[in-house]
């Protein structure tokens, strides 16, 4: 691939076609090392962006580095304009659009709040293992973030720096309300792990409803250490499954298992009936998840997990 560590795509540059210039390559590539050596020989010093990417083993700064855009971009003469960098910073601070499994803007049904208001508080707590605070809000963890859901004000707040702050996050709102209203009784986790196809509504997860794991694979297929770091950021615990596996507790009774299989292990891939030797990411559930969530809500929970993993935090 002719994309440089900075993110510039040299595939579409005429200078590359003419042979006047060549791509810097990804930060961890031999192409990048050769380019840095050439810059030092010809210019006396390398591009600071390229040198930093090589030193920190970052393939592509806009995708892989949490510090992007850093001072190498902010104070360097190129490759991006100030307006472009400001746009990047602004959008990184925002959540991506909340879409339902059909790609439509998500609107949380009002009935969820009505059902939660009508449900006895003690019943909610007993069935879901959440707590109640002095304001009458249900308090619990969503992955690594402490949340407060208050039915009377129809609000969701997150604990940030010791203070409750109102948040606008439709995906998280729908998933947490579905959990608080859909867990009908106390039952033990079955400790029976199942894949998507093994769920009773497994047929749902096909075509456009396929589990939205592709962005994770694109980001972490060649970066198992980054995958592990991101999972740990969400409170994940490593498990002896796949090449890299983590158990993440989405909600008090909803464990998820995220597994990264790296490319090239013929024995593993064959045993899992894969159609090739490429890397892949799988997700497993405790069988009990289908007692709480319908298929569409499971999809939205996984989508919210993907967003959190790519952002290294909720």
Q: List the strands of the sheet with 280-286, edge to edge.
A: 193-194, 280-286, 254-261, 244-251, 237-239
Question: Do the Cβ atoms of 221 and 235 come closer than 8 Å?
Answer: no
Beta-carbon neighbour count of residue 142 at 10 Å? Answer: 25
Is residue 176 located within the same domain as residue 141? yes
For position 275, what pLDDT does the model report? 47
Is residue 242 located within the same domain as residue 167? no
| Average pLDDT along the chain | 89
Token duo for residue 150: 């208050």
As a whole number, mean pLDDT of residues 211-224 equals 92
Is residue 178 located within the same domain as residue 201? no
Query: Has residue 14 got a pLDDT over 60?
Result: yes
Assigned domain for 101 exists:
no
For position 267, what pLDDT does the model report? 42
Is residue 300 located within the same domain as residue 208? yes
For position 268, what pLDDT does the model report? 40
In 84-191, at which residue ranges do the beta strands (DSSP E only) sit?
A: 131-132, 138-142, 145-150, 155-160, 163-166
Is residue 175 located within the same domain as residue 202? no
pLDDT tens digits, one per residue of 93-122: 888 889 999 999 999 999 999 999 999 999
Give the C-alpha separation, 144 to 258, whole Å: 16
Final residue before a domain boundary, out of 129, 162, 182: 182
For position 266, what pLDDT does the model report? 46
Rg (CA), the chain: 23
For position 271, what pLDDT does the model report? 35
Final residue before a domain boundary, out of 182, 209, 228: 182
Assigned domain for 306 exists:
yes
Is residue 266 located within the same domain as residue 176? no
Q: Report DSSP state, residue 160.
A: E
Percent of the chain having pLDDT more than 70?
93
Please tell me the least confidently modeled range out of 53-57, 155-159, 182-186, 279-283.
182-186
As a whole number, mean pLDDT of residues 136-155 equals 95
Dihedral pair phi/psi, residue 166, rounded to 5°: -65, 135
Assigned domain for 100 exists:
no
Is residue 250 located within the same domain as residue 204? yes
pLDDT tens digits, one per residue of 22-37: 888 999 899 999 989 9
Residue 297 β-bridge partners: none
Give the C-alpha separation, 140 to 273, whole Å: 39
Is residue 199 located within the same domain as residue 129? no
**What is the span of the domain harbouring residue 148?**
110-182
Assigned domain for 255 exists:
yes
Please tell me the least confidently modeled range out of 9-13, 28-32, 159-163.
9-13
Assigned domain for 1 exists:
no
Assigned domain for 269 exists:
yes
Is residue 278 located within the same domain as residue 228? yes
Is residue 239 located within the same domain as residue 303? yes
Query: Helices (H), strands (E): how many in the chain?
Result: 14, 10
pLDDT band at 51 (very low <50, low <70, confident <90, very high): very high
- What's the number of domains the chain is made of? 3
Assigned domain for 104 exists:
no
Tokens 């003419």 map to which residue?
Answer: 18
For position 190, what pLDDT does the model report? 62
pLDDT band at 188 (very low <50, low <70, confident <90, very high): low
For position 1, what pLDDT does the model report? 56
Residue 158 β-bridge partners: 147, 165
Is residue 221 located within the same domain as residue 165? no
As a whole number, mean pLDDT of residues 72-100 equals 86
Query: Has residue 286 got a pLDDT over 70?
Result: yes
pLDDT band at 124 (very low <50, low <70, confident <90, very high): very high
Is residue 200 located within the same domain as residue 300? yes
Query: Has residue 296 got a pLDDT over 80?
Result: yes
Final residue before a domain boundary, out of 57, 92, 127: 92
Assigned domain for 105 exists:
no
């Amino acid at each position: 691939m002719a994309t440089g560590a900075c993110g510039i795509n040299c595939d579409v540059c005429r200078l590359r076609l003419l042979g006047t210039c060549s791509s810097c390559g990804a930060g961890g590539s031999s192409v990048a090392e050769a380019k840095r050596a050439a810059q030092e020989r010809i210019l006396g010093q390398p591009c600071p962006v390229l040198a930093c990417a090589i030193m920190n083993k970052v393939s592509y700064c806009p995708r892989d580095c949490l510090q992007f855009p850093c001072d190498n971009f902010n104070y360097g003469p190129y490759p991006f304009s100030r307006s472009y960098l400001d746009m990047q910073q602004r959008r990184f601070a925002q959540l991506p659009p909340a879409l339902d499994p059909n790609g439509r803007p998500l609107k949380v049904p009002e009935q969820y709040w009505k059902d939660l208001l009508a449900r006895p508080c003690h019943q909610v707590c007993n069935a879901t293992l959440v707590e109640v605070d002095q304001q009458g809000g249900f308090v619990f963890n969503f992955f690594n973030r402490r949340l407060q859901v208050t039915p009377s004000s129809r609000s969701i707040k997150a604990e940030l720096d010791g203070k409750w702050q109102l948040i606008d996050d439709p995906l998280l709102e729908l998933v947490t309300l579905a959990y608080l209203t859909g867990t009908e009784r106390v039952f033990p986790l079955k400790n029976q792990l199942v894949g998507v196809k093994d769920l009773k509504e497994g047929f749902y997860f096909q075509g456009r409803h396929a589990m939205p794991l592709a962005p994770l694979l694109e980001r972490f297929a060649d970066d198992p250490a980054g995958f592990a770091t991101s999972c740990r950021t969400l409170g994940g615990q490593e498990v002896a499954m796949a090449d890299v596996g983590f158990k993440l507790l989405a909600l008090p009774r909803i464990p998820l298992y995220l597994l990264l299989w790296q490319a090239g292990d013929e024995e593993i891939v064959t045993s899992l009936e894969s159609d090739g030797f490429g890397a892949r990411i799988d997700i497993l559930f405790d069988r009990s998840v289908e007692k709480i969530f319908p298929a569409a809500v499971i999809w939205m929970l996984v989508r919210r997990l993907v967003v959190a993993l790519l952002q290294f935090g909720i």
